[in-house]
């Protein structure tokens, strides 16, 4: 029991730590602090500990420091779960993804500092970190035996819902990428109005690439909102007896509404930092929830067998 208790604490620490990495990366981008330590990595402006502290140095160096510390938590969690829970098929797969994508996002970040990267490559950075976060989150849910608490061994998902869960999860990753592209191309405020780029010109097309990027992201968000609403309506109508499915999709619908509201406020508040970070946090939680639903699809397939 003592081992289980400490393992749970480690799972919580690793999951929260990954959230800090995600939000810290978003903070670096939104404050344009990526070169706070100059073209130096892993040192900062030529020294292991920065000698001159500016806002950009503090943000960039803190992000690197948090990533380094949390990496130890994640590796420890992966090794411990492999040893204690290796009989659960998903554990090794999730553990590999958690470490692999954590290292990959760190290498992309280092490459950006040392040599610079194009906007379309940089937009992948957040998405890669998101995969690592999701893998850690799912490991934590397994450690806390969430499946047993919600009777996942009795979950049955019909074919139509299965394909919608898989489809909306994959599509949500595209939405994440378009949102990251908005940030990295500095297109966040290129459209002065919301929901249209210019509300007084409802039928005009975007004038330039930046407006296309911004409006493409808004269109992608509209599609996912409608898709989630349809899935939620189907689940509420047909899955009242399966709590984990029923409440999971209600929560997903609430999160996507909050996500859209945060996106609107990002524009209306002219990139308020707290709102912008909340926007990143909400999409991270939504994607994590989608991936848990994918895990439940797998559970359903096993139950049918």
As annotated, the active-site residues are 60
Q: Is 46 left (phi over 0), alpha (psi -120 to 50) or beta?
A: left
Among 298, 161, 173, smallest CA distance to 224 is for 173
- Interior/surface letters 150-174, b for 16+ CB within 10 angstroms, e for the rest: bebeebebeeebbebbeebbeebee
Does the annotation flag 87 for ligand binding? no
Measure the CA–CA gap between 46 and 48, rounded to whole angstroms: 7
Does the annotation flag 3 for ligand binding? no
* Numbered residues of the known binding site for heme: 217, 279
* Numbered residues of the known binding site: 217, 279
């Amino acid at each position: 029991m003592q081992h289980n208790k400490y393992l749970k604490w480690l799972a919580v620490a690793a999951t929260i730590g990954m959230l800090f990495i995600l939000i810290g990366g978003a903070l670096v981008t939104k404050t344009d602090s990526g070169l706070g330590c100059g073209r130096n990595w892993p040192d900062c402006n030529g020294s292991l500990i920065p000698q001159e502290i500016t806002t950009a140095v503090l943000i960039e160096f803190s992000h690197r420091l948090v990533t380094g510390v949390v990496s130890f938590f994640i590796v420890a969690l992966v090794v411990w779960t492999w040893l204690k829970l290796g009989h659960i098929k998903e554990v090794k797969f999730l553990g590999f993804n958690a470490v692999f994508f954590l290292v990959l996002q760190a290498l992309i970040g280092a490459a950006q500092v040392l040599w610079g990267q194009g906007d379309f490559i940089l937009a992948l950075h957040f998405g890669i970190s998101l995969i690592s976060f999701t893998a850690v989150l799912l490991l934590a849910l397994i450690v806390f035996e969430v499946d047993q608490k919600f009777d996942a061994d009795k979950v049955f998902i019909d074919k139509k819902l299965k394909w919608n869960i898989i489809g909306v999860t994959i599509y949500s990753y595209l939405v994440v990428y378009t949102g990251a592209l908005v940030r990295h191309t500095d297109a966040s405020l290129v459209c002065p109005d919301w929901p249209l780029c210019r509300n007084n010109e409802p039928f005009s097309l975007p004038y330039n690439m930046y407006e296309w990027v911004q409006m493409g992201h808004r269109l992608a968000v509209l599609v996912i909102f409608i898709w989630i609403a349809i899935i939620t309506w189907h689940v509420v109508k047909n899955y009242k007896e399966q709590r984990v499915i029923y409440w999971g999709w209600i929560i997903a619908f609430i999160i996507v509404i909050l996500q859209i509201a945060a996106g609107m406020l990002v524009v209306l508040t002219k990139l308020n930092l707290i709102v912008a970070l909340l926007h990143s946090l909400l999409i991270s939680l939504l994607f994590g929830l989608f991936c848990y639903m994918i895990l439940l699809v797998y559970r359903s397939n096993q139950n049918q067998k």
